[in-house]
Structure 1
Amino acid sequence: MGAHAHGTDEGHGGPGHGGHTHGVVEHADRRWLALALALIGGFMAVEVIVGIVARSVALLSDAAHMLTDAASIVLALIAIRLSARPARGGYTYGLKRSEILSAQANGLSLLLLGGYLGYEGVGRLIDPPEVTGGLVLATALAGVVVNVAAAWCMSKANRASLNVEGAFQHVVNDLYAFIATAVAGLVVVTTGFARADAIAGLLVVLLMVKAGVALLRASGRVLLEAAPTGVEPDEVGARLVAHGQVAEVHDLHVWQITSGEVSLSAHVLVAVGGDCHAVREGLEAVLSGEYGITHTTLQVDHLDEPAARGRADGEHCPTAHGPVHRAASYGH
């Protein structure tokens, strides 16, 4: 940067970002997640046994879905520990994105299991085996109780985390699936319509695919460093360039390090005679107050810097990334 260039890298402020408080929150998250894992794991083992005895694809589908729930919670617990490790060496952000990687693995496992169970469900829809409806109904009703308890536990954890929220949604989906399975068991008991079990199993598959796609999409955006949902970079650029004394904003990047940790960097050109320090502080206040972005790196230069003079194409940087936002008074 030239003589008038200024930069800043603001840390994450606000409540909950202090070391002690953050540690307490993580400990509470681990406790609630571990309790939910114990509930889900114990019931899943029982459900597999009953599903085999009752020859119920709906119960086995539910058990497989609960397996992915349990796996997602385990991965979330591991990710919490990894993301808490301090940054060192080449990992300048630490291992914060470990939860995003586990969310990717969880989403993919949902799709793979959904494909397998969908295949099984279609086969049993065509040629339904004899199903013990009473066992299916009783087990599904017990599953409703267990999933309500597990969902309550997970609701106490930090759902701002993509992993925790993903696992929570899985448990809620399981709750809906158990309700569908209970209805299927009741239909089998009262009418003898065995295909109701396969239909309920296919409903579970649809829920698994829906959750898996949502997780892959959300975690993929983070890995591809797309702007967070609800933050439009062009809108942010226009808002920054509307600030007094700002002539141009380019190289504007908005991305997520991990769930709930948004970062922004930009190159800002200040009009001739403008106060770079005051402009930087003003822009940081706008980003924090209007967009909730407190981790910012702004390179601020005067418009008459040597790097800006002598450019035949009028661009400040030879290889600017993304659109250039200019104030109306600066022109194009």
Structure 2
Amino acid sequence: MSSEPGHAHSDGDHDHQHGAEVTQSNERRIRLVFILTAGYALVQAIGGWLAGSLALIADAGHMVSDSAALLLALVAYRVARWPIDAQRTYGFHRVRVLAALANGATLLLLVAWIAWEAVQRINQPAEILAGPMLVVATIGLVVNLVGAYALWSGDSGDSNLRGALLHVVGDLLGSVGAIVAAIGIMLTGWSILDPLLSVLVAGLVIRSAWGLVSDSIRVLLQATPKGIVADEIEAGLLNLPGIAEAGHFHAWTLTDESIVATVHVSPKEGIDPLTLPSVVASFLKEGHGIDHVTVQVDPRGALLARHA
């Protein structure tokens, strides 16, 4: 065996596009739901303003956040088609991460405004036109039911589709809440129900917005993906046949569905070093969902010497 370190690269069964499989039917479903959701968000915002309903405006913000999530899902499908080039060897996947970060930060500002306005209305209740509020909320319920059915009837194995469905279900619950609040105001005259509901909806928005921001920051900082512990993986590699040493494991997220890793290993006596990359790649793929790994094969003792 050569005294110089060796370098090998393995993707398992993957090619070098690093893109998600594009399903035309699912893309059409998400595009339809995006148009419905974004269109209704505009209607809801205008209706909430005219009816004086902060709850409708807050739910419109929730719809905007979910529209953005649906748009990002569409971007993921399109990005999967873009070829890599000499300057962007991983393609354009981080564009989606940057968009998610901007989207989340904007929504946090919206939540702050909703919370401030809700406090003002609780202290000084404003007149709410419960009838128009009920009409707008009912239209939203119908739109969300149509969107949920379109996504539910698609390919359940598509993570983009599953994520979009969860967002639409959240919108559906927001519409139900707005309907209940409108009926409550009509029956009791308690206009305070509107700002109270707006705070509840704002809570849904802040949860999804903070998730977008925190996940985006983790990806941009190349933090180790959740559920992956370097020491445990290195220990697992040492249990594989043919590997004498393992170390310098690093992993980061390329997109929200693709994890990239690098690791150094050394072969045991009599083991062909060229066989190790495929063994390591299979272990990381099957046990930890890492679909792209670069393996450097070092001479025996090299890793121990570095730690000495």
Q: Is the pair's TM-score, using the shorter chain for normalization, greater than 0.5?
A: yes
User: What is the distance in 1 between the residues matched to 2:167 and 2:107?
Assistant: 10
Structure 2 equivalent of residue 208 of structure 1: 205
Q: More relative contact order in 1 or in 2 (CA 8 Å, sep 6+)? A: 2
| 1:1-332 → structure 2 map (5 Å cutoff) | 2-3=2-3, 5-11=5-11, 13=13, 24-25=22-23, 27-155=24-152, 156=154, 160-161=159-160, 168-303=165-300, 308=302, 315-317=304-306
Q: Report SS of the residue matched to 1:265.
A: strand
User: What is the distance in 2 between the residues matched to 1:294 and 1:74?
Assistant: 25
- CA drift at 1:66: 1.8
- 8 Å contact 2:281–2:292 — kept in the other structure? no
TM-score (norm 1): 0.81
- 5+ long unaligned stretches in structure 2: none
1:153/1:229 CA distance change after superposition, 3 Å: farther
1:289/1:184 CA distance change after superposition, 3 Å: same
| Range with greater deviation from structure 2 (170-179 or 188-197) | 170-179
- CA drift at 1:315: 4.5
- CA drift at 1:160: 2.8
User: What is the distance in 1 between the residues matched to 2:176 and 2:36?
Assistant: 18
What letter matches 2:159 in structure 1? A
1:30/1:281 CA distance change after superposition, 3 Å: closer
User: What is the distance in 1 between the residues matched to 2:102 and 2:63?
Assistant: 15
- CA drift at 1:135: 2.1
- 8 Å contact 1:9–1:298 — kept in the other structure? yes
**Per-residue Cα deviation, 1:215-239 (whole angstroms, up to 9, x for no partner):** 2222222222222222222211110
**Per-residue Cα deviation, 1:13-58 (whole angstroms, up to 9, x for no partner):** 26xx798x96651x33431222012212332233233222211111
Question: Higher Cα Rg: structure 1 or 2?
Answer: 1
1:61/1:137 CA distance change after superposition, 3 Å: same
Q: Report SS of the residue matched to 1:7.
A: strand
1:188/1:229 CA distance change after superposition, 3 Å: same
| Range with greater deviation from structure 2 (268-277 or 118-127) | 268-277
**Per-residue Cα deviation, 1:194-253 (whole angstroms, up to 9, x for no partner):** 100110111111111111111222222222222222222221111001223433222111
Q: Report SS of the residue matched to 1:302.
A: coil
User: What is the distance in 2 between the residues matched to 1:187 and 1:61?
Assistant: 18
- CA drift at 1:166: 5.8
Q: Report SS of the residue matched to 1:240.
A: helix
What letter matches 1:316 in structure 2? A
- 8 Å contact 1:267–1:298 — kept in the other structure? yes
User: What is the distance in 2 between the residues matched to 1:5 and 1:177?
Assistant: 58
User: What is the distance in 2 between the residues matched to 1:280 and 1:77?
Assistant: 34
- 8 Å contact 1:271–1:302 — kept in the other structure? no
| Range with greater deviation from structure 2 (92-101 or 63-72) | 63-72
Percent of pairs with identical residues: 32
- CA drift at 1:167: 5.0
1:187/1:148 CA distance change after superposition, 3 Å: same
- 8 Å contact 1:177–1:200 — kept in the other structure? no
TM-score (norm 2): 0.87
- CA drift at 1:60: 1.5
1:290/1:76 CA distance change after superposition, 3 Å: closer
- 8 Å contact 2:126–2:191 — kept in the other structure? yes
**Per-residue Cα deviation, 1:140-188 (whole angstroms, up to 9, x for no partner):** 2221221222233345377534xx6665444332222222211211110
Q: Report SS of the residue matched to 1:287.
A: helix
